[in-house]
Amino acid sequence: MYMKMKKEEKMKKGSLIIVAVALTVGFMLGTSPCYSAEPVKIAGIFALTGRAAHIGTAQRDAVLIAIDEVNAHGGVNGRRLEMVMGDTESDPTKAVMALKKVLESADVVAIIGPTLTGTAMAMRGFIEKEQIPAFMHSGGDVILNAPLSKDDPASLPKWTFKSPYKAADAMGKICEYMSRHGIKKIGFLYSNEGFGKDGLKNVAVQAPKYGVTVVAEEAFEPKDVDMTAQLTRINAQGVDGIIAWTVGPAMGIVAKNVKQLGIKAPLFECHGSGDPIFWKVAGEAGEGVMMPSTKIVVADQLPDSDIQKKKIVDFVSAYKKKFNQEPGTMVAYGADAAYIVVDAIKKAGPDRAKIRDAIENTKGYVGISGIYNISPEDHNGLSMEDIVMIEATKGGWKLLK
Amino acid sequence: MNAFLKQKDILGFAVLAIFIIILPAFVESRYYYIVLNVIGLNTIVVVGLNLLIGFAGQISLGHAAFYGLGAYFSGILTVNYGFPLWPAMLVGMLATGIVAYLIGYPSLKLRGHYLVMATLGFGIIINILMGELEQFTGGHDGLIGIPQLAIGRLVFDNDLKNFYLIWSFVFFSMLAARNLINSRVGRALRAVHGSEAAANALGIDTAGYKVKVFVLSAMFASLSGSLYAHYITFISPSSYDFYYSIQVVTMVIVGGMGSLWGSLFGAGVLTFISEALHFAKQYHIIAYGIFLCLVLIFLPEGILVGIYNFILKRKAKKQIKTDY
Amino acid sequence: MDFSQQIAQYIITGLTIGAIYAIVAMGFNIIHNATGIVNFAQCEFISLGGMIMYTLVVHVHANMIASFFISMAAVALIGALIERGPIRHARSKEIIVLIFLTVGISGVLRGAAQEAWGTDNLGVPAFSGENPIRLPFGAIIVPQHIWVFAITVLVVVMLHYFFKKTLMGKAMRATAVNRKAAALVGISVNRMILLSFAFSGGLGAVAGMIIAPISTTSYDTGIMLGLKGFAAAILGGYGNFAGAILGGVILGILESLGAGLISSQYKDAIAFFVLLLVLFLKPTGIMGYGESGRV
Question: Cα dist. A327→A80, A86, A312 in Å?
Answer: 26, 22, 11
pLDDT of C224-275, one tens digit each? 899 999 999 999 988 888 999 999 999 999 988 888 888 778 888 888 999 9
Which letter, b or e, does each residue of A338-352 get, where b requires 16 or more Cβ atoms within 10 Å of its Cβ? Answer: bbbbbbbbbebebeb
Q: In B, residues 261-300, which contact C (CB 8 Å cutoff)? A: 282-290, 292-293, 296-300
Give the ipTM.
0.88
| Residue A24 banded pLDDT, cuts 50, 70, 90 | very low
pLDDT at B102: 93
Q: What is the mean pLDDT of residues B261-266?
A: 92
Q: Considering only CB atoms, which chain A residues are within 8 Å of B141?
A: 117-118, 121, 140, 142, 146, 194, 197-198
Given CB atoms, is C175 within the 8 Å cutoff of chain B? no
Contact B232 A122 (CB under 8 A): yes
pLDDT at A208: 93
Kindly report the backbone phi and psi dihedral angles of residue A375, in degrees, each rounded to the nearest multiple of 5, phi listed first.
-145, 170
- Give chains near A: 3+ CB pairs under 8 A: B, C
pLDDT at A6: 53
Contact B239 A92 (CB under 8 A): yes
Indicate the range of B69-73, B152-156, B248-252, C40-44 predicted with least confidence: B152-156
CB pairs under 8 A between A and C: 103
CA pair distance A81, A39, nearest whole angstrom: 6
Q: Considering only CB atoms, which chain A residues are within 8 Å of B235?
A: 92
**What is the average pLDDT value for chain C, to the nearest integer?**
88
Given CB atoms, is C107 within the 8 Å cutoff of chain B? yes
**End-to-end CA, chain B:** 39
Q: Which residues contact B228 (CB under 8 A, 6 or more apart)?
A: A93, B41, B67, B70, B71, B235
Contact B275 A97 (CB under 8 A): yes
Tell me the Cα Rg of chain B.
20
Contact A118 B238 (CB under 8 A): yes
Q: Considering only CB atoms, which chain C residues are within 8 Å of B107?
A: 276, 280
pLDDT at C295: 53
Beta strand A365-366 with A290-293 is unpaired
Residues of chain B with pLDDT > 70, as a percent, come to 98
Global confidence as pTM: 0.88
| Residue A14 banded pLDDT, cuts 50, 70, 90 | very low
Interface test with B, best of A45, A84, A93, A115 (most B CBs within 10 A): A93
Beta strand A108-112 with A134-136 is parallel
Q: What is the mean pLDDT of residues A52-79?
A: 87
Locate the chain A residue with the closest alpha carbon to B283: A49
CA pair distance A10, A5, nearest whole angstrom: 9
pLDDT of B154-165, one tens digit each? 888 889 999 999
pLDDT score of B1 more than 50: no
| Residue C1 banded pLDDT, cuts 50, 70, 90 | low
CB pairs under 8 A between A and B: 85
Are A291 and A273 a contacting pair, CB within 8 Å? yes
Q: How far is C102 from chain B (nearest CA, A)?
A: 8
CB pairs under 8 A between B and C: 124
Which residues of chain B have a Cβ shorter than 8 Å from any chain A Cβ?
Answer: 29-31, 34-35, 38, 79, 131-132, 134, 139-142, 144-145, 159, 228, 232-236, 238-239, 275, 278, 281-282, 284-285
Q: How far is A97 from chain B (nearest CA, A)?
A: 7
| Residue A30 banded pLDDT, cuts 50, 70, 90 | very low
pLDDT score of B49 more than 70: yes
Given CB atoms, is A60 within the 8 Å cutoff of chain C? no
Q: Which residues contact B31 (CB under 8 A, 6 or more apart)?
A: A97, A100, A101, A103, A104
| Residue A120 banded pLDDT, cuts 50, 70, 90 | very high
pLDDT of A234-286, one tens digit each? 998 999 999 999 987 889 899 999 988 889 999 999 988 888 888 888 888 89
pLDDT of C168-191, one tens digit each? 888 888 888 888 888 899 888 899
Contact A193 B131 (CB under 8 A): yes
| Residue B311 banded pLDDT, cuts 50, 70, 90 | confident
Pick from A321, A289, A319, A294: nearest CA to A306: A294
Contact B145 A148 (CB under 8 A): yes
pLDDT of A289-332, one tens digit each? 999 998 888 888 888 888 888 889 988 888 888 888 888 888 88
pLDDT score of A184 more than 60: yes
pLDDT at A100: 93
Q: How far is A19 from chain C (nearest CA, A)?
A: 45
Question: Cα dist. C115→A34, A223, B173, B277, C11 in Å?
Answer: 35, 21, 41, 16, 38
pLDDT at A140: 82
pLDDT of B183-214, one tens digit each? 888 888 778 787 777 888 887 788 888 899 99
**What is the average pLDDT value for chain B, to the nearest integer?**
89
CA pair distance A323, C215, nearest whole angstrom: 27
Q: How far is A246 from chain C (nearest CA, A)?
A: 14
Q: In C, residues 36-65, which contact B (CB 8 Å cutoff)? A: 38
Quickly list DSSP for B125-161. HHHHHHHH-HHHH-GGG-B--PPPPEETTEE--SHHH
pLDDT at A19: 47
Interface test with A, best of C263, C264, C266 (most A CBs within 10 A): C264
Q: Considering only CB atoms, which chain C residues are within 8 Å of A223?
A: 221, 223-224
Q: What is the mean pLDDT of residues B166-170?
A: 95
| Residue A132 banded pLDDT, cuts 50, 70, 90 | very high
Beta strand A108-112 with A40-46 is parallel
CA pair distance A265, C206, nearest whole angstrom: 35
Of residues C89, C90, C100, nearest to B253 (C-beta): C100
Kindly report the backbone phi and psi dihedral angles of residue C276, in degrees, each rounded to the nearest multiple of 5, phi listed first.
-65, -40
Q: Which residues contact C148 (CB under 8 A, 6 or more apart)?
A: C16, C19, C20, C210, C211, C214
